[in-house]
Structure 1
Amino acid sequence: MKIIFKSILLLFFCFVKGNAQQVLSLEDAVKIALANNYEIKIAKNDLKIDQTNVSAGNAGMLPKATASITQNNNLQNLSQTRTDGTTTSLDNAKSNSLNYGVGLDWTIFDGFKMFAKKEQLQELQKLGESQLRMTVITKISDVQTAYYDLVQQQQQLAALDSTIVISNQRVNLAKNRFTIGKASKLEVLNAQVDINTDKVAVLRQQELYKNSKIALNQLLARDAQIDFKVVSDFTMDRKLEYAELKALAEKQNPQIEALIISKKVAELELKQVKSGRYPTLKVNTGYNFAENESSLGFTTQSSARGLNYGFSASLNLFDGFVQKRNEKISSIQIENSAIQIEQQNLALNSQLATSYQTYLTNLELIDLEEKNEAIAKQNLDITLDKFHIGTITTLEFRTAQLNYVNAKVRYSDAQFQAKLSEIALKELAGAIQF
C-alpha cells in the first residue's frame, strides 16, 4: 500500500509539474508579437505620422492667417527749424507708435505644385502602409522560425531522454550480468561512461532549449523568464505550387510594392519641380490699426484703421539653369526607381526558384528520414532483445542505440528545414497569414 501511495503521489506531482508549463500555440505567439513587438509598434507610429501629414494645409492649398502687433517708443532731444525761421526744441521728447492687425496670404496658383504635393503625401502614406506590412511579415516569419526551432529542440530533447532510459537499462543489465559472473567489470564501466556521455548531451540540449525559449520571448517582447511549451509536432504544407507563389509574389511582395510606390513618389517630385516653370499667383488681405503719438511736431497724435488687399504674381525668367538641373536630377531618380524594381523582380524570382527547389528536396528528405527512423527503431528493438540474452556485444548495442538517436535527430531536422523553406516561400510571396 505504501508503494502504491508513493506511486500515486509521484504521478500527481509529475502531472502538476507538467501542466505548470502552458502550451503556447503558434497562433497565440503571432498574436502576442503583433501586439507587443517593438519594431511593429514603431512602424505603426510611423504610419500614423504619414497619415497625419496627408492634409490640404500640408500640401500648401490653404491660406495662412497671421496676427501681429508692433510697438515702438522713443525718448529724444529734438530741435526743429520751421520755414519761417522759428526754432523749437524740446529735451526728452517722447514719441510712440502702435500697429496691430490681422493678415491673410493665399497662394492660389503655383504651377499645380500643391496638387502634386497632396498626391505625393497620399503615396507616402501608402508607402508607410507597405513598410508596416513588410515589418509585420518579417516579424511573423521570425516568430514562426523561432517557434518551430523550439519544436525541433523539444523533439531532440525527447530523443535524448529516450536514450537515457535505454542506457539505464544497459547499466542495470551489465551490473546484473557482472553479479552473476557473466560479464566483466569493463562492461559495467563502459555502460556507465556511455550513460554519462548521454547525460552530457541532454544537459547541452536542455541549455539550447532554454536559450531558444528566451529568444522567442524576446521576439514576443515579454519577460524572458516566462516558461512555456510548444506543440510536439510539425505541421507541413505540402501543397505549395511554384506558379501560384510566383503570381502572388509579383502581386503582393511588400518589397516590390514599396519600390513601385517609391517610383510614383519620384514621379510626383518631378511634377513639383516642373511647377517652377509656371507663374505663382498670391492674394493677400488684412485689417490693421495704427496709433502714433509725438511730443513735438505739427501732429502730436494720429490713428488709422482699415482694410488692405492686393495680389502678387511672379515668374522665374532665369535662375542660372537651376530649374533645368533639378528637372534632370528628378528624371534620373525616376529612372533609378525603375531599375531598382527590375533588379528586385529578378532577385525575387531567383530567390523564389531556389527556395522552392529547396522546399521540394526537404519534403523528400522528410519521407526518407521517416523511413530511416522506423528502420533504426526496428533495429534497436532487435538489438535490445539480443543484448538481453547476451548474443551481441555491447559495442554493437551502442552502435544501434546511437543510430536510432541520430535517425530521430535527422528526422526532426529534416522537418525543421522543410518548415524553414515553407516559411521563406510564403514570406517571399507575401502570403504569411496574420
Structure 2
Amino acid sequence: MRRVIRIAICMLLCTQVGRAQELLTVKEAIAIALENNYDIKLFQNNLRVAQENVTPGNAGMLPTVTGNFNQNNSLSNSNQTQANGDVRALDNAKNNSLNYGISVGWTVFDGLGMFSRYETLKELQKQGEAELQRSVVTRISDVISTYYTIVEQQNLLSAIDSSIVISQERLRTAENRFSIGKASRLEVLNVQVNLNTDESNRIKQENVVKNLKIVLNNLLARELQQDFQVIREVAIDETLTLGNLLEQSKSTNPDLILISINRRLAELEEKTVKANRYPTVRLNGGYNFSESESSLGFVAQSKSRGLTYGVTASVNIFDGFNQRRNERIAKLRIENADMQIEQMNLQIESEIAQAFNVYKTNLELVKLEEKNEQIARQNMNITLDKYKIGTLSAVEFRDAQENFINAVSRYNSAKTQAKLSETLLMELIGKIEL
C-alpha cells in the first residue's frame, strides 16, 4: 500500500509528457499566435496602409501633372449669310477639332496646411503601431493566461488520477480484509463509492481540459482538435515592484500612447483649420496642341501649339462664420484630449496598483500552500501507517486522502494565479517579457 501511495504521489508531482502528443511550451504557443492570429494580421495590414499614406504627395506638397486629350467631330447641314448678302450652303459639312497637351498644377502656399497634414499622416502611422502593439500584448496575455489555466487544470486532472490509484488499492485492501472477516461489507461499499466519485470527477475534469485546449488552439488560429501537452512547471517573477511598474507604464502602455497621439492629432487638426484663414496660391502651367478643320467657314484649317502658365490665388473672405466655428471645435477637442490623458493616467495607475496587490497576495499564498502541501503529505504517510495496522477507519483514511489531493490542488492553483496576476501586470504596462 505504501508503494502505491508513493507511485500516486509521483504521478501527481512529476511532469508527465505523452509521447504521442505534441509538447507545446508557452513560448512556442506565443510564436504561433503572433504568426497566425487574425486580429494581429488585421492590425498589421492597417499599419501597412498607414505607412503607405505617409507621403508628401498625399499631404498635397507636390505638383500634379495631367495629360489631356480631346477630339470632337461633327457633320451638319449649314447655311451662312455673309455680311455682303451672299448665302453659302453646304450639306454634311465636316467640323473636326483635336486638342491634347500636359497641364501642371502646384499649390505652393495654403497657410502651411500641407505641413500639418503631413505631420497628421505620420501620427496616424504611430497610431497604427500603437494599436498593433496593444493587439500583440493582448494576444500574448490571452495565450499565457489560457496556457497556465490549462496547466492548473491538467495538474488537477493528475491529482484526480492519483486519487483513483489510491482508491483502487484501498478497494482491493478492503475486499481482502472483508474476505478474512476483518472488515464489514459497509466498508467495502464506502470505498467503492469513493472510487466511483473519483472516476466521475476525472471524466468531468478531462472535459474541462479538452475545452481549454480548444480555446488555446483558437487563439493560435490552428486546428481546434489538435491535442498537445503542456509543461507543468510555473516560473513566477517575484522581483516586480510597484514603483518600477508605474514608471514603465508611462512610456510603454499602449492606451497611454494612443491617447497622447490623439492629443497630437487634435493639435494638428487645429493647425489645419487655421490654415484656411490664409490665401491659397497655386502655380499653373502646361503645353498644349490643337488642330481644327471646317468644311464651311472663313478658316478651313488651323493648328497651334504653345506654353501656358500663370498663378491663381484665393482667400476665404466670408463663409458664414464656419471658420470660427471650426476653430472653436478644434480647441474643444484639444481640451477633451487633455482630460482624457489625465483620466487614463489615473485609471492605469489604479489598475496597476490593484493588480500589484493581487500579485503580492498570490505570492504569499504560494508560500502558504506549499507548506500546507508538505504537511498534508506527512499526514498522508502517518494515516497510511495507521490504516495498515487497522487503527484507522476507511472514512478517516478518505479524509486524509482528500486533504492531500486538495492541498496539492490548491498549491498548483496558487502558483497559476500568481502567474496570471504577473501576466496582468505586464499587460497593463504594455511589455510582456518571456
Superposition TM-score tier, normalisation by shorter sequence? over 0.9
Q: What residue is the counterpart of 2:6 in the other structure?
A: none
Change (3 A) 1:17 1:128: closer
Q: Are the counterparts in 1 of residues 286 and 308 from structure 2 also a CA contact under 8 Å?
A: yes
Q: What residue is the counterpart of 2:344 in the other structure?
A: 344
Greater mean alpha carbon deviation, residues 249-258 or residues 20-29: 20-29
> What is the alpha-carbon distance in structure 1 between the residues aligned to residue 50 and residue 78 of structure 2?
60
* CA deviation after TM superposition for structure 1 residue 276, in Å: 0.2
Q: Are the counterparts in 2 of residues 137 and 430 from structure 1 also a CA contact under 8 Å?
A: yes
Q: What residue is the counterpart of 1:4 in the other structure?
A: none
Aligned length: 419
> What is the alpha-carbon distance in structure 2 between the residues aligned to residue 431 and residue 116 of structure 1?
32
Q: Does 1:227 align with 2:227?
A: yes
Q: What residue is the counterpart of 2:98 in the other structure?
A: 98
Q: What residue is the counterpart of 2:66 in the other structure?
A: 66
The residue correspondences of 1:369-388 to structure 2 (distance < 5 A) are: 369-388=369-388
Q: Does 1:252 align with 2:255?
A: no
Q: Are the counterparts in 1 of residues 110 and 281 from structure 2 also a CA contact under 8 Å?
A: yes
Q: Does 1:192 align with 2:199?
A: no
Amino acid at match of 1:123: E
Q: Does 1:126 align with 2:120?
A: no
* CA deviation after TM superposition for structure 1 residue 91, in Å: 2.0
* CA deviation after TM superposition for structure 1 residue 22, in Å: 2.7
Identity rate of aligned residues, in percent?
A: 53
Amino acid at match of 2:264: K
Q: What residue is the counterpart of 2:4 in the other structure?
A: none
Q: What residue is the counterpart of 2:306 in the other structure?
A: 306
> What is the alpha-carbon distance in structure 1 between the residues aligned to residue 287 and residue 97 of structure 2?
17
The residue correspondences of 1:183-332 to structure 2 (distance < 5 A) are: 183-332=183-332
Q: With the length of structure 1 as denominator, give the TM-score of the two structures.
A: 0.94
* CA deviation after TM superposition for structure 1 residue 313, in Å: 0.3
* CA deviation after TM superposition for structure 1 residue 17, in Å: 8.6
> What is the alpha-carbon distance in structure 2 between the residues aligned to residue 274 and residue 433 of structure 1?
45
Q: Are the counterparts in 1 of residues 17 and 23 from structure 2 also a CA contact under 8 Å?
A: no
> What is the alpha-carbon distance in structure 2 between the residues aligned to residue 433 and residue 357 of structure 1?
20
Q: What residue is the counterpart of 1:115 in the other structure?
A: 115
> What is the alpha-carbon distance in structure 1 between the residues aligned to residue 334 and residue 168 of structure 2?
71
SS at match of 1:319: coil
Change (3 A) 1:425 1:17: closer
Q: What residue is the counterpart of 1:358 in the other structure?
A: 358
* CA deviation after TM superposition for structure 1 residue 189, in Å: 1.5
Q: Are the counterparts in 1 of residues 151 and 232 from structure 2 also a CA contact under 8 Å?
A: yes
Amino acid at match of 2:99: N
Amino acid at match of 1:105: G
Amino acid at match of 1:343: Q
SS at match of 2:281: strand
> What is the alpha-carbon distance in structure 1 between the residues aligned to residue 76 and residue 19 of structure 2?
93
SS at match of 1:341: helix
Q: Are the counterparts in 2 of residues 173 and 388 from structure 1 also a CA contact under 8 Å?
A: no
What is the CA deviation profile of residues 394-415 of structure 1, one whole-angstrom value per residue up to 9, with x for unaligned ones?
2211111111111122111111
Amino acid at match of 2:299: T
Q: Are the counterparts in 2 of residues 63 and 104 from structure 1 also a CA contact under 8 Å?
A: yes
Greater mean alpha carbon deviation, residues 341-350 or residues 221-230: 221-230
Q: Are the counterparts in 2 of residues 77 and 89 from structure 1 also a CA contact under 8 Å?
A: yes
> What is the alpha-carbon distance in structure 2 between the residues aligned to residue 181 and residue 211 of structure 1?
47
Q: What residue is the counterpart of 2:77 in the other structure?
A: 77
Amino acid at match of 1:112: L
* CA deviation after TM superposition for structure 1 residue 258, in Å: 1.0
Q: What residue is the counterpart of 1:30 in the other structure?
A: 30
Q: What residue is the counterpart of 1:426 in the other structure?
A: 426
Q: Are the counterparts in 2 of residues 50 and 128 from structure 1 also a CA contact under 8 Å?
A: yes
Q: Are the counterparts in 2 of residues 74 and 96 from structure 1 also a CA contact under 8 Å?
A: yes
Amino acid at match of 2:117: K
Q: Are the counterparts in 2 of residues 253 and 428 from structure 1 also a CA contact under 8 Å?
A: yes
SS at match of 2:236: coil
Q: What residue is the counterpart of 1:334 in the other structure?
A: 334
Q: Are the counterparts in 2 of residues 153 and 205 from structure 1 also a CA contact under 8 Å?
A: yes
SS at match of 1:20: coil
Q: With the length of structure 2 as denominator, give the TM-score of the two structures.
A: 0.94
* CA deviation after TM superposition for structure 1 residue 431, in Å: 2.5
SS at match of 1:73: strand
> What is the alpha-carbon distance in structure 1 between the residues aligned to residue 374 and residue 165 of structure 2?
19
Amino acid at match of 1:119: E
Amino acid at match of 1:414: A
Change (3 A) 1:272 1:17: closer
Amino acid at match of 1:384: L
Q: What residue is the counterpart of 2:13 in the other structure?
A: none
> What is the alpha-carbon distance in structure 2 between the residues aligned to residue 358 and residue 272 of structure 1?
47
> What is the alpha-carbon distance in structure 1 between the residues aligned to residue 17 and residue 116 of structure 2?
65
Q: Are the counterparts in 2 of residues 34 and 136 from structure 1 also a CA contact under 8 Å?
A: yes
Amino acid at match of 1:280: T
Q: What residue is the counterpart of 1:19 in the other structure?
A: 19
What is the CA deviation profile of residues 297-329 of structure 1, one whole-angstrom value per residue up to 9, with x for unaligned ones?
111111111111101000111110111111111
Q: What residue is the counterpart of 2:367 in the other structure?
A: 367
SS at match of 2:186: helix
Amino acid at match of 1:43: F
